[in-house]
Every structure is written in structure tokens, then in C-alpha cells.
Structure 1
Amino acid sequence: MATLNLASGPVRCHILNLSYSGALVHAGTNLSQDPHVDIQFAGTKRRGRVVWNKGGRLGFEFERGLSVPELQGALAFDSARG
């Protein structure tokens, strides 16, 4: 589970795919492309932007990519949760 922090308030979401530069996110609702959005997941917080949005899924691009330890930690966190 993750949270997108928008100007209009927080939106709970699921990360479907994660890379060092961004994420595929399912928010269950269409969100506008926003130049500045924070996403929180697995103890990590990143600023980025929504680059595309279709059918409740969106592409999120980080302003600053994840480090290898951050990416490994997020993937391990998800695996531990089953």
C-alpha cells in the first residue's frame, strides 16, 4: 500500500511496478496530471509527477531516482507482506 499526497488530499494506492525512476500505480480513480505529487511507500517518500493516467492507473516519475538500497528495501518490504 502507498499514499499519493495531492493538493486535494491523500489518496491510497497500490504500486504495481517499481523502478529506480518511477512507478506504475493503481489509484482506483483518474487523477489529473500534476507537476508536483509526493508518494509514500515502504518507509520512503519521493516527490515526482504523474506523467500519464488511464483507467485508474497512472505512471509516476520520481524527481530524484531511488538508490539501489532504497529500491531493494521497498521490494523486500513488499515481499515480506506477501
Structure 2
Amino acid sequence: MRVLVVGGGIAGISAARALLRWGEEVIIVEKEEKLGGLMSQIANCSVSFQTLFPEIEGERNLRIFTSARAEGSVPTSVLPMP
């Protein structure tokens, strides 16, 4: 299944990480030039962008679009978490 994650902040990156672990193909769309949201600006945080992003960086089932936005409508489905 291909999953679109809108937003590349801490929540979006965490969702992408979980989806990748479940073997899903993930697309992140972020409106800013870089990922991380406000978390990328916090230097001393125990769960930070700097610790989460390296875990997904380089994943072959991950595509990231920055300075972008999602438009249109797509068929959706909601599945229970495994």
C-alpha cells in the first residue's frame, strides 16, 4: 500500500517511520524547504528530529517532497493498526 503523509514535522516523521517498519511505501509532502517542523529548531530535546530522521533516511520505500503541497482528492481507506 502507498501512504501519503502530509507534513514533515515530528508527527509526520514518526508516522512515516512506523509505516516503513510495517513495510508500506511512504510519501511525505512538506510545505517548508526542510523537514522537522518546530522540532528541528530545538537543540536540547530527548526525542528530536535529529534522532528520528536518520532512522528513515535512505529508505527505498520513502519519497520526500519539500516546498510542496498536496492537492486534489484521492480514494482513502482507514485500516486498523496491526
TM over 0.5: no
Q: Which bin holds the TM-score, normalised by the shorter protein?
A: under 0.3
Between Structure 1 and Structure 2, whose CA radius of gyration is higher?
A: 2
TM-score normalised by length of structure 2: 0.27
TM-score normalised by length of structure 1: 0.27
| Bigger strand fraction | 1
| Bigger helix fraction | 2
